């Protein structure tokens, strides 16, 4: 199982804006970056933060961990969540939490040394509600700041070692997870094909699954994503119900909350590992070899 390509990290961004009426607008940006990969059998070198323009970076610790996911609680920028990868030998992936300058606390771990925490998302209405996607155990959720967790996998596919559907098999590899910009109870998760040794080798199961009830139940898309692995997701803040997916074959768009999808550019090019929509909905950015921009 693989959590990301060589050198790929993950980024969490918090923006704080202060305004003096009639004078100026000052914007302070805090960027947090996690570094971790399973492709080269290393576990990365921790999490880092930069305030301003990214010229200087400060370690947030976790130096021995492969940090595969980061999230910052909206409105509670002093709380940072991190997901890590298992080492396949002795250490399982975990979800950790850090408040202010305090120590990292393990909020979720287990005995599966192949477990990777691949994505994290925090409900913008409540910083204690957090979702975590994994590579082989589905999706889990906490509503009390990490004290307790519930696996929310009803409707996500499971496969046995042959790739056949099995009620007792491993859950499909979930990698990107986002909350709908206009309705945080709507959650979308992308999947890799079962048995994919590499992101561009598609097996059974690459899709986008959507929950409209906070993860209680999941439903797959009905058309448009056959034959691709879904590597990234973004919700359009200016167009309710519109999603963009970065895949192994370019960018796809859905205008109906993930039910149907259509190609949206970069087909036949490099893998699209990240997509992001401008805050005003004016442009879509995609990381595909180089950063690509498309006006919306």
Place of tokens 């491993």: 170
- Higher confidence at residue 45 or residue 49? 49
Could you give all domains of the chain from N- to C-terminal order, each with its CATH number?
Answer: 152-296 (2.130.10.10)
194-230 core/surface letters (b: 16 or more CB in 10 A; e: else): bbbeebeebbbbbbbbbbbebbeebebbeebbeebbb
- Phi, psi at 60, each rounded to 5°: -100, 10
pLDDT at 230: 92
What six digits make up the tokens of 127? 């910083």
pLDDT at 149 over 80: yes
**Burial of 23 per CB tally in 10 Å (0-12, 13-18, 19+):** exposed
pLDDT tens digits, 230-275 = 999 999 999 999 999 999 899 999 999 999 999 999 999 888 989 9
pLDDT at 110: 76
What six digits make up the tokens of 277? 């929509």
Q: Which residues contact 80 (CB under 8 A, 6 or more apart)?
A: 12, 32, 47, 60, 70, 71, 72, 97, 98
- Judged by average pLDDT, the poorest of 32-41, 137-146, 166-175, 191-200 is 32-41
**Burial of 278 per CB tally in 10 Å (0-12, 13-18, 19+):** middle
- Judged by average pLDDT, the poorest of 50-59, 162-171, 277-286 is 50-59
pLDDT at 23: 26
pLDDT at 285: 93
Highest averaged pLDDT of the listed ranges 51-65, 74-88, 210-224 = 210-224
Rounded distance, CA 75 to CA 196, Å?
Answer: 38
∠ CA 158-162-168 to the nearest 5 degrees? 35
pLDDT at 126: 93
Q: How confident is the model over 39-61, as a mean pLDDT?
A: 64
Q: Do residues 200 and 237 lie in contact, with contact meaning Cβ atoms separated by under 8 Å?
A: no
Q: Do residues 250 and 235 lie in contact, with contact meaning Cβ atoms separated by under 8 Å?
A: no
pLDDT tier at 205 (50, 70, 90 boundaries)?
A: low
Rounded distance, CA 229 to CA 246, Å?
Answer: 9
pLDDT at 112: 72
Q: Which residues pair with 93 in a beta bridge?
A: none
pLDDT at 39 over 70: no
User: Whole-model pTM above 0.85?
Assistant: no
Q: How confident is the model over 154-176, as a mean pLDDT?
A: 82
- Phi, psi at 295, each rounded to 5°: -70, 145
- Higher confidence at residue 9 or residue 171? 171
């Amino acid at each position: 199982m693989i959590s990301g390509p060589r050198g790929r990290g993950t980024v969490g961004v918090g923006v704080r804006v202060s305004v003096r009426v009639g004078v100026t607008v000052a914007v302070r940006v805090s960027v947090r970056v996690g570094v971790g990969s399973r492709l080269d059998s290393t576990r990365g070198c921790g999490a880092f933060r930069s305030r301003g323009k990214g010229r200087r970076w400060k370690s947030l610790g976790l130096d021995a961990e492969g940090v595969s996911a980061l999230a910052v609680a909206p409105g509670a920028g002093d709380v940072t969540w991190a997901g890590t990868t298992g080492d396949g030998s002795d250490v399982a992936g975990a979800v950790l939490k850090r408040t202010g300058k305090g120590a990292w606390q393990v909020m979720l771990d287990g005995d599966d040394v192949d477990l990777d925490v691949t994505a994290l998302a925090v409900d913008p209405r409540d910083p204690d509600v957090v979702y975590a996607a994994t590579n082989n155990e589905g999706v889990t959720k906490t509503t009390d700041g990490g004290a307790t967790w519930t696996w929310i996998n009803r409707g996500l596919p499971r496969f046995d070692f042959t790739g056949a559907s099995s009620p007792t098999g491993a859950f499909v590899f979930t990698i990107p997870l986002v909350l709908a910009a206009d309705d945080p109870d709507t959650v979308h998760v992308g999947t890799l094909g079962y048995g994919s040794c590499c992101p561009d080798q598609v097996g059974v199961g690459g899709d986008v699954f959507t929950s409209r009830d906070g993860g209680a139940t999941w439903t797959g898309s009905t058309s448009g994503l056959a034959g691709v692995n879904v590597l990234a997701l973004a919700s359009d803040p200016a167009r309710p119900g519109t999603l963009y997916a970065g895949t192994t074959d370019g960018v796809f768009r859905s205008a109906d909350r993930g039910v149907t999808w259509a190609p949206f550019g970069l087909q036949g090019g490099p893998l699209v590992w990240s997509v992001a929509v401008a805050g005003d909905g004016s442009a879509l950015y995609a990381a595909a070899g180089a950063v690509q921009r498309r006006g919306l």
